[in-house]
Amino acid sequence: MKIVVNSRIIHLLTSIVLLTSYYINAQKENFEFEFGTVDAWDNIISGESGGETPIKWINVNTVKEGWTVRADGVLVNLGHPIGVVRSEKQYENFILHVEWKHMEAGGNSGVFAWSGADPKGDAVLPDGVEIQMLELDWVNLHEKDGVKPPIAYVHGEVWGVGGVVTVPDNPRGERSKSIENRCKGKGEWNTYDVVCVDGVIKLSVNGKFVNGISKSTQKKGYLCLESEGAEIHFRNFKVIELPPGVTSVEQTAPLLNK
């Protein structure tokens, strides 16, 4: 009996095998890099210089080829595979400054605060509070039955993920949406200033505070940078650590081995 195999089926099966192999290798690949700086609030107030130290990032489930720190200090992430890298240490109360720009229409990424940095089960993204970074065309590219997603999707939504519960300042379901649309599109730099204190997060987008959450059930954890399918650039990543608060074990993400 002659068996005819459709070329499309062969192509599909080959793609599945390659993607599965790619994902497994990403889980096993150990690498780290330095990007951005951290300083203490006390150093800034006292005027002491030289307190800034580099932030070390450790792979969780991506690949080394997906992350490059250029000579000009810009971190380039290619977006594949989907996953995250995490900070070496945990942070509780802090101010984060980061500038970012998408290089593709509809690009998706984000920063996770107070994360356990340890995706569970079949998940490829961890828990924590996500501060989303979407390119403006995302809503145009995800139209369904003639209806586009809410424009709020692409202007800095903030919400708890992976079991972390938050109370949104400006509810759109469980998410908090920005009260003003301030993000810029493909190829343009955006600036996020994020204040994270005692389970409360306030987000400034391009110079104005427009979003936030409160009562996060997780208040101390890792920072994660997200790789989610499209090239994105980061620069001027700076963390200022603030004095600690009263945070219980239940409100703290588990410590991970290096």
pLDDT tier for residue 9 given thresholds of 50, 70 and 90: low
pLDDT tier for residue 153 given thresholds of 50, 70 and 90: confident
What's the chain's Rg over C-alpha atoms? 19
Cβ-based neighbours of 161, under 8 Å, separated by 6 or more: 112, 125, 126, 127, 128, 129, 130
Instruction: Give the position of tokens 């005692």.
Output: 198
Least confident of 9-13, 14-18, 76-80, 152-156: 14-18
Kindly report, residue by residue over 158-203, the tens digit of the pLDDT: 999 999 999 999 999 999 999 999 999 999 999 999 999 999 999 9
Domains of the chain (ranges; CATH) run 30-251 (2.60.120.560)
| E strand spans, 93-173 | 94-102, 108-115, 128-134, 158-161, 167-168, 171-172
CA-based nearest residue to 210, from 176, 164, 236, 159? 176
Q: Are strands 128-134 and 190-197 parallel, antiparallel or unpaired?
A: unpaired
pLDDT at 134 over 90: yes
Kindly report, residue by residue over 32-87, the tens digit of the pLDDT: 999 999 999 999 999 887 789 999 999 999 999 999 999 999 999 999 999 999 99
Percent of the chain with pLDDT over 70: 89
Q: How far apart, in whole angstroms, are the C-alpha atoms of residue 102 and residue 186?
A: 5
DSSP H or E stretch at residue 142: none
pLDDT at 223: 99
The pair of structure tokens assigned to 180 is 């003003």
Print burial letters for 216-234: b (CB count within 10 Å at least 16), e (below 16): bbbbbbbbbbbbbbbbbbb
- Residue at 114: amino acid letter: W
pLDDT tier for residue 21 given thresholds of 50, 70 and 90: very low
Q: Are strands 232-241 and 222-227 parallel, antiparallel or unpaired?
A: unpaired
Q: Evaluate whether 196 touches 233 at the Cβ level (below 8 Å).
A: no
DSSP H or E stretch at residue 18: helix 7-28
Q: How far apart, in whole angstroms, are the C-alpha atoms of residue 117 and residue 90?
A: 10
